[in-house]
Structure formats: C-alpha cells, structure tokens
Amino acid sequence: MNETFASFLPLILIFVVFYFLLIRPQQRKMKEHKEMISKIKRGDEILTAGGVYCKVLRVIDEEKIEAALSNNVNIIISKPTVTSVINKSSDTNNK
C-alpha cells in the first residue's frame, strides 16, 4: 500500500504544480478579460485581437459592439475579440 502511494506521489506533485503555475493563473486571466469586456461602453477606445484600434459607438448586445475605424467607416465586432481597452470614456451616461 505504501509503495503504491509512493509511485503515485510524483504524478500528484506534477498535477499540483501544473494547477498553481498554469491552470489557476489562466482562470484568473479569463475572469479578468470577461469582466473587462462586460464594462465596455460608448466612447471607449479598444484594441481587437486582429490589431485594429477603434472607438466604440454603441454596445449592440452581450456579444457585439459597433465601432468606428475612421470617419464614416463603422464595423461590428464580437466582444470576446477585444483584447484591451486603451482609453476609457469619461461619459458614464452613454451605453
């Protein structure tokens, strides 16, 4: 019985190390990203996963944003593709 436990001990230790070095930080990063995209509002400047900088015109729903690339050029972006919010707008009344 003791030999069986001793043979599984390295596997258990490897799993514990993977949990604290890989799984837990990734879960925290995913939670922070989800929180960031839920707080996006009109006027925020964002960076997408494709490397496109744009300004949020309106939040359509939980999955889509309408953003302006330049004058008279608007696109609809999937919220999960937003990698960061560059400048948060100071206008809190617009959504």
SS3 79: helix
N- to C-terminal Cα separation, the chain: 63
Q: What residue ranges in 1-95 does DSSP mark as E strands?
A: 45-48, 53-59, 64-70, 73-78, 82-87
pLDDT tens profile 21-53: 999 999 999 999 999 999 999 999 999 999 999
pLDDT tens profile 76-90: 999 999 999 998 776
Residue 30 confidence (pLDDT): 93
- Span 2-87: which CATH code? 2.30.30
At 53, the amino acid letter reads Y
Domain boundaries, the chain: 2-87
pTM value surpassing 0.85: no
